[in-house]
Amino acid sequence: MTGRSHEERASPARGSGNRPANVTFTAELSPTARASFGRLDPQSRTWQNVGSALIGSGDPMPDTANKTRTRTRLKTERPRLHKVILVNDDYTPREFVVLVLKAEFRMNEDHAYRVMLTAHQRGTCVVAVYAQDIAETKATRATDAGRAKGYPLLFTTEPEE
Ligand code: TYC
């Protein structure tokens, strides 16, 4: 892109669904055009000294050349992913935790055992990362599987950074 650039300022991510972000595009004139048209004041983001500028031959600059071309458009960012977290407790049998991990998160025995052991030793373990609705559904189903057997097994979710 020569002689033309744009700046983007996206508002910070908030919430967890789709994130429409306000993005301001400021079209800049080429250095040559800027020299003859005036300057863009970075504070007010408006063009200064444009009224008296002349174009090439010395003709007065037409009104249309004085406009600051700034427009705001909505840009949809990708939704944040959510972690499913396994929480340790003192009652759910290890084998049952492994069983649930294999069934709900499609893990093999070895992976499921290592995740269970990490939660057992450290208190929690990130099981996997999904789109929010999938993470919540899996966490609920896995927690319910424990509750159906009378265990306090708990899976929670939280958004990724
Ligand atoms: N701490 C449990 C036990 O010793 C096993 C267990 C591991 C339970 C991980 C929950 O998220 C968990 N029987």
Residue 28 above 70 pLDDT?
no
The whole-model pTM stands at 0.62
In this structure, the residues whose C-beta lies within 6 A of any atom of ligand 1 are: 86-90, 92-94, 97, 116, 119-120, 153
Say yes or no to pLDDT of 27 above 60. Answer: no
62 and 86: one domain?
Answer: no
> What are 46-80's pLDDT values in tens digits?
545 544 444 454 555 555 566 677 888 888 889 99
Please name the residues in contact with 135: beta carbons below 8 A apart, sequence gap of 6 or more.
81, 82, 83, 84, 128, 129, 157
SS3 160: coil
Q: Ligand 1 centroid to 156 CA: how many Å?
A: 15
For the cut 50, the answer to whether the pLDDT of residue 158 exceeds it is yes
Report the CATH number that the domain containing residue 136 is assigned in CATH: 3.30.1390.10
CB atoms within 10 A of CB 147: 11
Is 141 or 39 the better-scoring residue by pLDDT? 141
Note the pLDDT tens digit of each residue in 111-133.
999 999 999 999 999 999 999 99
Report if residue 52 sits inside a domain. yes
**Residue 130 shares a structural domain with residue 72:** no
Residues 63 and 31 in one domain: yes
| Structural domain for 93, as ranges | 81-159
Nearest atom (ligand 1) to Cα of 116: 9
Range 38-43, long-range pairs (CB < 8 A, 24+ positions)? 40/68
Number of domains observed in the structure of the chain: 2
Q: What is the DSSP string of 41-99?
A: ETTTTEEES-TT-EETTTEEPPGGGG---EEEEEEEEPPPEEEEEEE--SSS-HHHHHH
91/139 same-domain check:
yes
| Probe target for ligand 1 pocket from 90, 105, 107, 155, with the most ligand atoms within 8 Å of CB | 90
